[in-house]
Structure 1
Amino acid sequence: MAASATHTPLPNEAKPRLSAGLIPAAMLSGSAVLIFALQLPLAGYGLLAASVVAAFFVNRALFRDLLLLALGLLIISTISLEANIDYPNIALMGTVLTLSVLVPYLLSRYAYKDHAIRFPIRTGQRWTTLERWYLPLVVLLGYLILPSYFIGSGAYLNWPAISTPDELARLFVGVGFVGIWDELFFICTAFALLRRHFPDWQANLLQAVIFTSFLWELGYQSWGPLMTFPFALLQGYTFARTRSLTYVVCVHLLFDLVVFLVLVHAHNPEWLAIFPY
């Protein structure tokens, strides 16, 4: 599996707007829709395998990177992603999601001997004024949008009823863990690998399709994709601009904090009666 030479990505402006590699990459993103959103695993696995095979004949560097993504998606697909905060399921889901990030990273680092997948926590750059103001804006948008979504669509029922301190703690930890993992896999892994071969906007669209498909099975259904798809695009764009995992994780966790509070209120209407919907 080791590559004969390290693949050096082209500058964004040097990448063609249309390339044959878009076909297998789009097939891979489409396989996530089949596997996670439409719950058609056989068709999804078939399309996933076909995307990797097609990439082999199009571009060997693209093949190696799509293979890493395919392995990550296969690992994720071994479990149900439906919201379940029972202790055994938390342990199982945590293990599987961790492996889906760790396996592609270790293969990239030690088999391919490159640094395609990085987790830039400390960049040495201070956040700009705009970046600082964006954080409270995320909270405000979540406050305005999420109650109408979860309660108006009934999507909150995709999460278990919670009322005891132990249940609240497990939901809080679970929502936060998945939020951090989203950035590790969809942004630092999927987006990072795809943007080595395609302009950022194309790589971002491809990762956003996978991101949205995952969140659909997790419970963001009904008109949820109208919210999650733009959010995924914004996270990819923000990462491309800031090059900071820390920043995109902060954005995601602030949004997920509102998700947690809305779910608590939705299952216990007398609690946190502060939301407009």
Structure 2
Amino acid sequence: MPDVMTATTATTRPASLAAACLVSLAGLLAFGFEQRPVAYAVLAVAVALGLVVDRALGKDLALIAAGLVVMSLVPITTDVSNAHMVTMGTAMVLAVAIPYAVSRWVYGDHAVRFPVRTGERWTRLEKGYLVAVPLLGYVLLPVYMIGTGVYENWPAVSDPEGIARLFLGTNVLGIWDELFFICTVFTLLRRHLPMWQANLLQAVLFTSFLFDLGFHAWGPVIIYAFALVQGYIFQLTRSLTYVVCVHLLFDFVLFLVLVHAHNRSWIDVFVY
């Protein structure tokens, strides 16, 4: 079976890179600046250019564009009400399912995959990183979330149901981030671009989406670095399971910080 994460050409055509860059620009416009109509126009140009340069590239960019458009049609907020969770959750499922289904059953190349069981044992370094991630979150997230006041972009929950909803929302979103931005966007871009270019571009989309969600102030710096590391780790491990574990460990600390920020007397384990 061919490695779907290996670029199809030894050198990248400037026009191919330009088309991929336009897709990331569209994501930035749609989520970072909330300019949806302009973003749709840029996506159309990107896909058209991709088709002209390389039909396979255009088809893969169309899959990414489909996911971005689906997500742009719903409010991207941290609301944990039933109505919003169903609306945003449905969009998240479609944004992942459409590229997967089309690549497998329409294109027939099954480029989008979600490798849960790879058969490879995690190395000591990989296990050590799983310990380091929550420690890093413990040091960094309280300073960022509370110091900037960004935590107020999340609902103030204090009842068991609200806390459970917040926990569910942060975890589901974390898993989706890896399914879409890493397993879908990064993988599809990686078929046509060198790893570093594909990673830089997926990280733009990753960061733009989470900025729209509420990670403002200097949050994009953290998220962009995190997205780059996640793409690099996935390239090395080819394991969705591992990158999801990393993400959920970081998000668990995020969840605790949010509860702490809104209920200061409850959790007294953070120094900020």
Q: Same fold (TM over 0.5)?
A: yes
- 1:257 maps to a residue whose letter is F
- 1:107 and 2:102 aligned: yes
Unaligned runs of 5+ in 1: 1-5
Shift of 1:119: 0.5
CA RMSD of aligned residues (A): 1.6
Matched, 1:248 2:243: yes
Cα distance 1:18–1:274, how it changes in 2: closer, same or farther (>3 A)?
Answer: farther
Equivalent in the alignment of 1:51:
46
Structure 2: distance between partners of 1:19 and 1:8: 23
Cα displacement (A) at 1:15: 3.0
Match of 2:214 among 211, 219, 222: 219
| Percentage of identical aligned residues | 52
Q: 1:267 to 1:110 in 2, by over 3 A?
A: same
Matched, 1:120 2:119: no
Partner of 1:44: helix, strand, or coil?
helix
Contact 2:8/2:191, CA 8 A, preserved across alignment: no
Alignment of 1:43-192 (within 5 A): 43-192=38-187
Q: Does 1:33 align with 2:28?
A: yes
d(CA) in 1 for partners of 2:267 and 2:143?
A: 15
**Which one-letter code corresponds to 1:269 in the other structure?**
R
Partner deviation per Cα, 1:149-188 (whole Å, 9 max, x = no partner): 1001111011111100000000000000000000000000
Residue 5 of structure 2 contacts residue 190 of structure 2 at CA under 8 Å; is this kept in 1?
no
Indicate which of 196, 201, 206 corresponds to 1:206: 201
Q: 1:195 aligns with which of 180, 184, 190?
A: 190
**Superposed displacement of residue 46, structure 1:** 1.1
Partner residue of 1:235 out of 226, 230, 233: 230
TM-score calculated relative to the size of structure 2? 0.97
**How far is 1:55 from its partner?**
0.9
Post-superposition shift, 1:41?
Answer: 1.1
Q: Give the Cα–Cα distance (whole angstroms) in 2 for the partners of residues 150 and 62 of structure 1.
A: 39
Q: Distance in 2 between matches of 1:185 and 1:170?
A: 22
Deviations 1:9-51 (A, max 9, x none): 5845953255320001000001001000111111111111111
2:245 aligned with 1:267: no
For 1:231, give the aligned amino acid: F
C-alpha separation between the residues in 2 aligned to 1:96 and 1:20? 31
Q: SS of the counterpart of 1:222?
A: coil
Deviations 1:109-158 (A, max 9, x none): 00000120000000000000000000010000000000011001111011
1:3 corresponds in structure 2 to none
Opposite residue 55 of structure 1, the aligned amino acid is G
Cα distance, 1:276 vs. partner?
A: 2.5
Residues 252 and 153 (structure 1), Cα distance of their counterparts in 2 relative to 1, 3 Å cut: same
CA distance in 2, matches of 1:178, 1:92: 13
Is the 8 Å Cα contact of residues 7 and 61 (structure 1) preserved in structure 2? Answer: no
Tell me the matched-pair count.
272
Structure 2 partner of 1:258: 253
**How many Å apart are 1:272 and its aligned residue?**
1.0
The letter for the 2-side match of 1:129 is: R
* Cα distance between partner residues in 2 of 1:58 and 1:125: 37
Asked if the contact 1:7/1:114 (under 8 Å) is kept, the reply is no
Deviations 1:42-96 (A, max 9, x none): 1111111111111111111100000000001011111011110001111111111
Rate the CA distance shift 1:197–1:251 in 2: closer, same or farther, 3 A. Answer: same
CA contact (8 A) 2:6 2:190 kept: no
